[in-house]
Amino acid sequence: MAHPIPKDNSELVRLIVELRRAARSNEAPIWASVAERLERPRHQVTPVNVGHLERLTEAGETVIVPGKLLSEGRLSKKLTVAAFAYSKEARTKIHAAGGVAITVSDLLKTKPDGAGVRLFA
């Protein structure tokens, strides 16, 4: 029996279960790692800003942010970014740079084996 997930957000709980299931069925440990990070309490999660993506990624990469992506900094690279949540300004900056902002579920559907996906947390 699976252990209960102590979260009130039903969408988040559904995503965590979906990620764990994908990790087992596709033998993709990245999804298990993302699920574990999403399950953490908020005070244990380091916020990720758009400026971090600018400094630490290469153009054309696919990046997953387990949590909320915030808008501090600028972005000039075309990236595919998946996050559980985005600030409005962060989504705008990604699109302005020619990138794509998608949900974690959408990324899971397009890359079920997790190949080429970089965890950014």
Query: What is the CATH number for 89?
Result: 3.100.10.10
pLDDT at 3: 67
What's the whole-number mean pLDDT along residues 74-102?
96
Would residue 3 count as lying in a domain?
no
pTM, two decimal places:
0.91
> Which tens digit of pLDDT belongs to each residue from 19-73?
999 999 999 999 999 999 999 988 888 889 999 999 999 999 999 999 999 999 9
> How far apart, in whole angstroms, are the C-alpha atoms of residue 105 and residue 16?
10
Q: How far is CA 103 from the centre of its chain?
A: 7
Domain that holds residue 34: 10-119
In the block, residue with structure tokens 């039903």? 10
Q: Which residues pair with 99 in a beta bridge?
A: none
Would residue 1 count as lying in a domain?
no
Is residue 75 helix, strand or coil?
Answer: coil
Would residue 4 count as lying in a domain?
no
CB atoms within 10 A of CB 83: 24
| Angle, helices 10-26/29-39, rounded to nearest 10 degrees | 160
Would residue 99 count as lying in a domain?
yes
**Number of domains making up the chain:** 1
Would residue 56 count as lying in a domain?
yes
